[in-house]
Structure 1
Amino acid sequence: MRERRMRGSRGQPPGRGAVLPEPGMKTEAACGAAAGVYPVDVLDDDPDAHRKAALACYASLGEGAGASSEVFCLPTGEQVKLEASSVYFCTVHRDEPQHKILVLVNPQDTKTVVAVYIKESWWSTEDAIRTSDPAREGLMKVQSFGERIVLFILNVIIFGRLERNLDDDDMFFLPHSVKEQAKIMWRHGAAVGFYTTKMKGSLCGSGTGVCYLLPVFDTVFVRRKHRRQGLGTAMLRDFCETFPDDEALGVSYPMSPAMYQAHPGNSEEEDVSRHARTSWNDRPRQSAPGDSSKERTRGEELEHTKNDPDRGAEEEDMGLVGQPQGKLARPSP
């Protein structure tokens, strides 16, 4: 019987965000979430190796169709069987579609991603964005491949799927580019938000020669349970302090209603909100092909993978049930 590496949630026994093996299967006991080691701390900067491992995992699930009793246990106690019909590939970077991550969805609610496959192990979405490195605290620039995986999970899985109203005409972001200028907000051992910027002089889109005329505060997200604690203001302040020599800085449009919120009675902030609503047409448009805020998302789509004896695997797009397509991506609250 084949051996597969497994990870559960930190400090939790099987049945609470863990993987239960087949009877008689040998499991790996060293390190993992229970030992406080997380993907961002140990993942090599090798996207191709990551993709090959994910394809191998999918292939093994396909080979074991109908015979495997291995399951992933949700925090609710519900068990999700690890089988090919419940796993999908997501594109991590919009400009490099070959970089993908394998995710496990709840078969009863295919909009909900419950785990991701990283470093030959299944990790709950919460453990996948944790860190054991005490130096990761506050705003940290995204540099490593592991940090870009965390950025993707925050952006596409947590904001795009778990903390956004999927039944409403709500806003979401497209997957970021592979070289996106971004910072992640780390707090008490977990990633709780991020913001990205467009640099002055960088192209507005891959299909245009138009450049940004000033640094732009592009996308920003703070997890729901960490909002109203000053983190959004801290990120905006950090952005401003990053460009001390620039006379003007920009903020991407369109903006979510929450971004316009002002404390009651603060007339100055309310005036700014009204001005922002009416003056956006004065700034250069960024709707050229390839613009991150205007393209149809691929991160909102999960992709089935089929085995192909000649090519190893063929990847085919597959949208989620009930998921509207073609929305505009906008800044989040």
Structure 2
Amino acid sequence: MAMYPVDLPAVDDTELTSASENYLASLNAAQSCNEWFRSLLTSKEIAVTPANIRQLQLFEDEHPACTVLALHPPHDQTQVLALYLHKKWWPLDDVLQTSSESRRGLQPVQSVMERLIVFLLSQVVERPRSHGEVRFSLHPPTETCKVLWEDGQAVGFYTIKHKGRLCDSWSSRCYLLPVLDTVLVRRRCRRRGFGLQILHDFCSSFSSEEFLGVSSPLSSDMVAVIRKFLLQHEEHQARLYEVEAPGEWTQRRNIWLNIQLGRYASEQPRPAVLTPPSPCNSSAPLMPTSAQLCDVNQEDRSPSSERSGKGCCSSERTDILGIKAPSRPQRLKESLKWKEAPLRKPRRESPKEMPKRPKRARRTSINE
């Protein structure tokens, strides 16, 4: 059975960094190139020289350095062909694979190699293709992550900001609810239900929490996935909020309610249509009721981290003042319900007022 880097004996960030530095030093000391790597992607041999190697930093600047060496073509430093791990060069696709039968579905990230996989998915494999997409920021080494494994390959991941955790390193603000911070599914693996699987896992992991957050702003793809999820799981419609750190009530917007109101670009408002009762439709027509929800206007932002696959990211900005938080959040559950509209009793004309009409065949109209 083939073994991959994630299946080999675990190494820590210090060992990974020192191995990279020692190997790079040996290449700089060599007089000539004695090593070549044949790329399956380009079907060409690449010389393993310092000119074709760059160091990738896995974590944010304020954390201890953890680097890995990446081999790239001479003409494109942004492309990664292989990584130097366990004293050899591994093709990029091999680093994202596993031979372990236990790695199925969503699994917590526990080792440095698993964090390397999260880094590769967010920074290398799924790079933004268009100018409008935002790049992910580096995740800290203590970030709670889960990798989604399917058929021996890493196909996605998501990260969580836990309730009570510091929002940043320069203030004392803490998250007031669990927040789904980053979601990514590889482009070639989308439209297979993995986004719904991630949302279900996130909500199930915090079953005792009354409210859950998803980092703002939401991409159109993320809104579509959440809408489908909430249609299937109505019990979560009053739980999921789009939030900005740290998640005060003035920084929350109920996602389901805003979908119904058409406040997302991908969703259009759904006007109520009154259907008169008929023999095939004896139920009373339904009308939506108005709801009270504190809503912060969405302004142009410069998010610090991408949530494109997912479509979520945390962004810091000045909150708009003068908006009062609801004193009783539980009213939202009532506002998401529907009330029966009163039926207007038809006015019957008196015999004197009724004009004489010619008799004709009686027709029945049925609205479905």
* TM-score scaled by length of structure 1: 0.69
Pairing 1:186–2:146 present: no
> Residue 106 of structure 2: which of 107, 115, 139 is its match?
139
Aligned to 2:23: 57
Aligned to 2:34: 68
Q: Distance in 1 between matches of 2:56 and 2:182?
A: 20
Pairing 1:115–2:103 present: no
> Residue 207 of structure 1: which of 156, 160, 170 is its match?
170
> What's the secondary structure of 1:152's corresponding residue?
helix
Q: By how many angstroms is 1:281 displaced?
A: 5.9
Unaligned runs of 5+ in 1: 1-34, 288-292, 296-327
> What's the secondary structure of 1:194's corresponding residue?
strand
Q: By how many angstroms is 1:272 displaced?
A: 4.8
Is the Cα contact below 8 Å between 1:216 and 1:252 reproduced in 2? yes
> Residue 271 of structure 1: which of 256, 259, 277 is its match?
259
Aligned to 1:330: 307
RMSD, matched Cα: 3.2
Is the Cα contact below 8 Å between 2:195 and 2:225 reproduced in 1? no
Give the 5 Å matches for 1:1-333.
35-64=1-30, 66-94=32-60, 95-160=62-127, 164-165=128-129, 167-261=130-224, 271-272=259-260, 274-275=262-263, 282=296, 294-295=303-304, 329-333=306-310
> What's the secondary structure of 2:121's corresponding residue?
helix
Structure having the higher Rg = 2
Unaligned runs of 5+ in 2: 232-255, 268-292, 311-368
Amino acid at match of 1:259: M
Q: Distance in 2 between matches of 1:80 and 1:258?
A: 38
Amino acid at match of 2:196: T
* Residue-pair matches, total: 257
> What's the secondary structure of 1:205's corresponding residue?
coil
Aligned to 1:14: none
Q: Distance in 2 between matches of 1:215 and 1:263?
A: 17
Q: For 1:162-203, what per-residue CA distance to the aligned partner results, in whole angstroms no more than 9, with x for missing partners? A: xx30x5231221111101001000011111100001000101
When residues 240 and 126 of structure 1 are mapped into structure 2, their CA distance, relative to the original with a 3 A threshold, is same
> What's the secondary structure of 1:250's corresponding residue?
strand
Is the Cα contact below 8 Å between 2:109 and 2:146 reproduced in 1? yes
Q: By how many angstroms is 1:117 displaced?
A: 1.1
> What's the secondary structure of 2:71's corresponding residue?
strand
Q: By how many angstroms is 1:76 displaced?
A: 3.0
> What's the secondary structure of 1:174's corresponding residue?
coil
> What's the secondary structure of 1:48's corresponding residue?
helix
